[in-house]
C-alpha cells in the first residue's frame, strides 16, 4: 500500500489492517491512534507506559529488527536537550526547527538500514501532530507527551536488551 501524503500534514495513512508476522503492527497501531487524537497531548500515558503498552511493543519490535539502543539515542538525545530548553522557558518557536532537524538524523539511520522505516514514520507522525496544535503552549504540551512516549520506548528497549542478555535480574 502506498502513502496518502495529504493525510495529517504528511503523516502516512495507515489503517488497522496492517499486519506483521500475523499480528498487529505496533507502529501502525500507534500511528492510527495518534492520527485519531485531536492533540498528541491527549495520548494517555497508560496506553504507552504499561508493560504491554505501545512503548513496550515498539521497543520489542525494535529489538527484533536489531535497532541498537545507540541508534535510538542518536535521535532521542537531541530531543532531550530541546525538552530542557523548553523547561527553561524557551518558546516553541525557538526550538521548532531543532525538533524538525531530528528527522533527518533518523532518516539517515533508516537509509543505512540501522533503523526501521516504520519507526521514522511514527516519529514523523508525532512531530506533525505536534505542529497541528492550535497554539505554541499546546505544541509544547504535545512535545512533552511525545518525549514521555519516547522515553518509555528507550527504557523498554534497554530493558529488553538486558533481559535478552541475561542481565535483567539484578539485586
Contacts for 107 with CB less than 8 Å, ≥ 6 apart: 120
Percent of the chain with pLDDT over 70: 82
pLDDT range class, residue 16, cuts 50, 70, 90:
very low
Answering whether pTM is above 0.85, one says: no
What range does the domain containing 81 cover?
27-165
User: Is residue 171 situated within a structural domain?
Assistant: no
Residue 78, pLDDT score: 96
- Degrees, nearest 5: CA angle 31-20-74: 55
Q: Report the distance separating Cα 3 and Cα 24, nearest Å.
A: 19
User: Is residue 7 situated within a structural domain?
Assistant: no
Residue 116, pLDDT score: 94
Helix (H) or strand (E) holding 20, with range, is strand 19-20
Count of domains for the chain = 1
Q: Report the distance separating Cα 74 and Cα 89, nearest Å.
A: 24
Ramachandran bin of 90, using left for φ above 0, alpha for ψ from -120 to 50, beta for the remaining angles: beta
User: Is residue 71 situated within a structural domain?
Assistant: yes
User: Is residue 41 situated within a structural domain?
Assistant: yes
User: Is residue 3 situated within a structural domain?
Assistant: no
User: Is residue 13 situated within a structural domain?
Assistant: no
Answer whether residue 17 shows pLDDT above 90.
no
Q: Report the distance separating Cα 74 and Cα 64, nearest Å.
A: 19
93-124 tens-digit pLDDT: 999 999 999 999 999 999 999 999 999 999 99
pLDDT range class, residue 7, cuts 50, 70, 90:
very low
What average pLDDT does range 129-143 have in this prediction? 96
Give me 124's grid cell. 514523523
User: Is residue 10 situated within a structural domain?
Assistant: no
User: Is residue 12 situated within a structural domain?
Assistant: no
Residue 18, pLDDT score: 42
Residue found by looking up cell 526547527 in the block: 97
Helix (H) or strand (E) holding 19, with range, is strand 19-20
DSSP labels, 31-67: HHHHHHSS-GGGS-HHHHHSTTSHHHHHHHHHHHTT-
Nearest by Cα to 129 from 120, 139, 119, 121: 139
* HSE value, Cβ hemisphere, 13 Å, CA-based, for 3: 14
Answer whether residue 168 shows pLDDT above 70.
no
pLDDT range class, residue 38, cuts 50, 70, 90:
very high
Amino acid at each position: 500500500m502506498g502513502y496518502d501524503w495529504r493525510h495529517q500534514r504528511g503523516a502516512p495513512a495507515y489503517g488497522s489492517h496492517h499486519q506483521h508476522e500475523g499480528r498487529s503492527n505496533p507502529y501502525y497501531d500507534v500511528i492510527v491512534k495518534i492520527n485519531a487524537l485531536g492533540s498528541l497531548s491527549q495520548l494517555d500515558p497508560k496506553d504507552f507506559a504499561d508493560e504491554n503498552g505501545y512503548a513496550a511493543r515498539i521497543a520489542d519490535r525494535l529489538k527484533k529488527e536489531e535497532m541498537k539502543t545507540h541508534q535510538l539515542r542518536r535521535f532521542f538525545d537531541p530531543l532531550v536537550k530541546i525538552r530542557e530548553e523548553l523547561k527553561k522557558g524557551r518558546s516553541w518557536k525557538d526550538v521548532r526547527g531543532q525538533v524538525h532537524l531530528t528527522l533527518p538524523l533518523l532518516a539517515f539511520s533508516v537509509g543505512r538500514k540501522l533503523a526501521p522505516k516504520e519507526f521514522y514514520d511514527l516519529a514523523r507522525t508525532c512531530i506533525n501532530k505536534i505542529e497541528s496544535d492550535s497554539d505554541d503552549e499546546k505544541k509544547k504540551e504535545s512535545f512533552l507527551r511525545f518525549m514521555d512516549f519516547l522515553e518509555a520506548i528507550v527504557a523498554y528497549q534497554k530493558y529488553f536488551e538486558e533481559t535478552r542478555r541475561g542481565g535483567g535480574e539484578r539485586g
